Structure 1
Amino acid sequence: MSHATGCADAPTTADPCSRCDVLVGLDGVHVETVERDAALMTVTVSTTWQLMGCPDCGVVAPSRGRRARVLHDVPHGDVRVQVVWRQRVWRCPEQVCARGTFAEQVPTLVAARGSLTVRAVAWAIGQLRREHATIAGLARQLGVGWWTLWRAVKPQLEHLASEESRFEGVTSLGVDEHIWHHRDPRTRGPKELTGMVDLTRDQHGRTHARLLDLVPGRSKKAYADWLTERGADFRAGIEVAALDPFGGYKAAIDAELADATAVLDAFHVVKLGTQVVDEVRRRIQQDTRGHRGRKGEPLFGIQTILRAGAENLTDRQLARLATAIEADEAHEAVYVAWRCAQDLRAAYRAKSTLEGRARAEKILESFHTCPIPEVARLGRTLRRWREAFLAYFSTERANNGGTEAINGIIELHRRLARGYRNRDNYRLRMLLAAGGLKT
């Protein structure tokens, strides 16, 4: 059963119901009727009469009546909403004018050739950004197809992405790579993308990370070309550039951000230390047992303990660690590697940056001389990155944590969409989701 609402004393557009206009909230038109059933709400709207001249020649044009144009609007709860716009049509009476007939346009209601209301497009963009929605899910709620909605949303996102103002005020920049597809034969181009993230802190010292851009590839060229495109003013404003230990990104920073301080990310450095412990454990396991770890063997039972910070271990876990190390003299190398990894963690966990820097400098002077080859290799790596490694303690603990958080948002939206095949669409969606685009 359908229900129609309206005002008995205002049945025509010449005397519309102002209360319905306010309730429905469609700018530029007046509400004539509202009908609703269990699955659909239909709102019929029109504009008030006005004298209209031909857009080309200006001659007053006689009316040719109206035509019903169906638009898709923001759903009302679980009910889809259709707006039936009784669009006025005129005909130019001038014989030599090439215009012929023309229809009224209400830009606040709908685009010239669109089938979605302006506010439906704005609503969809907001849902994509804030509610982790998908194009397919929003299209179902609006009662349209995937491509219909994306064709309406994409130009808005492209316009926002082209705004150079979103790069203003960036003083701290993070960079990292991620995989946007996994060997999909339908997808062209590199599977790696380089993401640039704004890590600028506010006046209270808090970082509100936002994605600035995604470019194809993982190389010096990919990062350097993007920095070049941003212009000299942008590059001059960057004071801190955080990165993981990848030489390509460091070379791009040295070439394009000569005045910025490159900071090696603490998370990745600690991760390198943990990887060294795993490598030593696996090597000792093979040397002493001739096979990979098996249940019941000493080194197999402490894998998780070796990856944890010493400050997080219980007395029982420490006892298990000691028992496993004492089970074989060769296991002493695993313990030394674990202690080295803990020294690396302790440098970053120090209460003051002066204490942390002192610990870091001690690491630089000692690790490369360690008789355990994996630890010595880590020491040589850190010495190559000496300035970027120590910069953490002179830049108020600048790090790439915000970039990793942005990568988490990107991964979430990629999973929600079940993957992407078009890199341009992927870039726009991730810029919107991760805060780089703001309407």
Structure 2
Amino acid sequence: MVHVEGVERTDGHMRVEVSTPSQLMGCPDCGVVAPSRGRRVRQLHDVPHGSTRVVLVWRQRVWRCPDPACARGTFTEQVPDLVAARGSVTTRAVAWAMEQLRREHATISGLARQLGIAWKTMWRGIKPVLEHLDGQEQRFEGVKSLGVDEHIWHHGDPRRKGPKELTGMVDLTRDEQGRVHARLLDLVPGRSKKACTDWLTARGDAFRKNIAVAALDPFGGYKAAIDEELADAVAVLDAFHVVKLGTQVVDEVRRRVQQATLGHRGRKGDPLYGIQTILRAGAENLTDKQLDRLATAVEADPAHEEVYVAWRCAQDLRATYRDKDATKGRRRAEKILDSFHTCPIPEVARLGRTLRRWREAFLAYFTTGRANNGPTEAVNGIIELHRRLARGYRNRTNYRLRMLLAAGGLTP
């Protein structure tokens, strides 16, 4: 506990003088009662009062051990609730800064500017707290559903060491009302089976046995790691990525037919070029005018029929996830598995073969309460936002800690 001895306020600054009450103090090493050696002044940066910077002037007590055999010599009082040892930012200011980072999408530079300190000083106060929270294994307890997805933390900057791909591990556990409050568990270096396997192995048997559902994008490395380490979990192919594969097929067919009929890439005035955005939309979202444009473009050349068939296949794939009845949706999905691979359009047939390889994970969506990686993508959105606010990162360790705080993985 500290007492306020005086407050002095000037334009834009507030100076608060504090001290602790007098008390007997024993040497930390030998325990002998030590006489006082006076005080020394220590300036600490505290939470700003509105736009006013606040500086605590702590009159810190100093003692000297009277035992000549003790190697301690002099020592100063420590108040952990006020400030960390050798720190210059109060614990209250650190807690305030972490809340600003997490809730208000602040930046380290902005917070340092408000306190009137350097970026390194601000981060030096926050980083040990985040490292302490990161080391607590309790944050992995209660995870029953896991989302796995890749994340790119930089785009080929040579100053950044290590892989640019990271594997994001997200808690997708539902609460009693069936809602998902996604939180980032970790960002693992690399995008491979080994990266995923090593992380799951490090979590221990209790964590792995508790996982019932694992949602993932169609990457074989993640699927192999889940099958190997989470034998009791159901792997679910993410709906967003499946629909995306269907949309990509339509784009590929459109470009191929465009080249085959006109001999060049799409240009203004070309029938297929004019409907490229319409082909990426859901049929239920198209207006009558857009449907007329689609029909006109398809009828412009008999070869365009392939594009229309591919678009209908993508819409059928999308409809499986839109069906409110999961049983009917599963029946739609089974028909797709039985038919797409026989389609004469090579791109659609390839998609059908891909879905057949992922058959169990594809159909698992309809038997796991529609488990998907949507919340994982939302967490990725938070990460991308904070990366943009900070104008990028050069240190992956700092990046990981910041994103764990921003996306809920570390709770102060």
Taking structure 2 as the reference length, what is the TM-score of the superposition? 0.98
Residue number among 376, 391, 414 corresponding to 2:364 in the alignment: 391
Distance 1:384 1:112 in 2: 58
Distance 2:356 2:271 in 1: 33
Match of 1:276 in 2: 249
Q: Secondary structure at the match of 1:144?
A: coil
Residue number among 319, 341, 349 corresponding to 2:322 in the alignment: 349
Match status 1:420 vs 2:393: yes
Residue number among 234, 254, 262 corresponding to 1:261 in the alignment: 234
Distance 1:181 1:148 in 2: 25
Q: After TM superposition, give the deviation of residue 62 of structure 1 in Å.
A: 2.4
Residue number among 180, 197, 203 corresponding to 1:224 in the alignment: 197
**What are the superposed Cα offsets for residues 291-314 of structure 1, whole Å, 9 maximum, x if unpaired?**
011111111111111000000011
Give, as a single letter, the amino acid of the residue that structure 1 aligns with 2:10.
Answer: D
Residue number among 4, 8, 14 corresponding to 1:41 in the alignment: 14
**What are the superposed Cα offsets for residues 266-295 of structure 1, whole Å, 9 maximum, x if unpaired?**
000000000000000000000000001111
Match of 1:104 in 2: 77
Q: Secondary structure at the match of 1:283?
A: helix
Q: Which has the larger radius of gyration?
A: 1
Residue number among 199, 202, 210 corresponding to 1:237 in the alignment: 210
**What are the superposed Cα offsets for residues 220-255 of structure 1, whole Å, 9 maximum, x if unpaired?**
110011111111111111111100010010111111
Match of 2:158 in 1: 185
Q: After TM superposition, give the deviation of residue 432 of structure 1 in Å.
A: 0.5
Give, as a single letter, the amino acid of the residue that structure 1 aligns with 2:251.
Answer: D
Give, as a single letter, the amino acid of the residue that structure 2 aligns with 1:76.
Answer: H
**What are the superposed Cα offsets for residues 73-106 of structure 1, whole Å, 9 maximum, x if unpaired?**
1111111110001111222233333222222221
Match of 1:176 in 2: 149
Q: Secondary structure at the match of 1:176?
A: strand
Distance 2:291 2:370 in 1: 30
Give, as a single letter, the amino acid of the residue that structure 1 aligns with 2:338.
Answer: E
Q: After TM superposition, give the deviation of residue 108 of structure 1 in Å.
A: 1.2
Q: Secondary structure at the match of 2:82?
A: coil
Match of 1:382 in 2: 355
Distance 2:156 2:237 in 1: 30
Q: Secondary structure at the match of 1:36?
A: strand
Residue number among 47, 67, 70 corresponding to 1:74 in the alignment: 47
Give, as a single letter, the amino acid of the residue that structure 2 aligns with 1:320.
Answer: R
Distance 1:266 1:69 in 2: 57
- Structure 1: give runs of 5+ residues left out of the alignment: 1-27
- Structure 2: give runs of 5+ residues left out of the alignment: none
Q: Secondary structure at the match of 1:242?
A: strand
**What are the superposed Cα offsets for residues 386-407 of structure 1, whole Å, 9 maximum, x if unpaired?**
1100000111111010110011
Match of 2:374 in 1: 401
- Count of paired positions: 412
Q: After TM superposition, give the deviation of residue 60 of structure 1 in Å.
A: 3.0
Give, as a single letter, the amino acid of the residue that structure 1 aligns with 2:35.
Answer: P
Residue number among 292, 296, 299 corresponding to 2:269 in the alignment: 296
**What are the superposed Cα offsets for residues 118-145 of structure 1, whole Å, 9 maximum, x if unpaired?**
1111111111111111111111111111
Distance 1:302 1:405 in 2: 29
Match status 1:92 vs 2:50: no
Match of 2:27 in 1: 54
Q: Secondary structure at the match of 1:113?
A: coil
User: What RMSD, in angstroms, separates the aligned Cα atoms of the two structures?
Assistant: 1.0
Q: After TM superposition, give the deviation of residue 376 of structure 1 in Å.
A: 0.5
Match of 1:63 in 2: 36
> Which runs of structure 1 show a deviation greater than 4 angstroms over 4 or more consecutive aligned residues?
none
Q: Sequence identity, in percent? A: 81
Give, as a single letter, the amino acid of the residue that structure 1 aligns with 2:17.
Answer: T
Give, as a single letter, the amino acid of the residue that structure 2 aligns with 1:62.
Answer: P
Structure 1 residues 71-220: aligned runs within 5 Å: 71-220=44-193
Q: Secondary structure at the match of 2:235?
A: strand
Match status 1:431 vs 2:395: no
Distance 2:110 2:33 in 1: 46
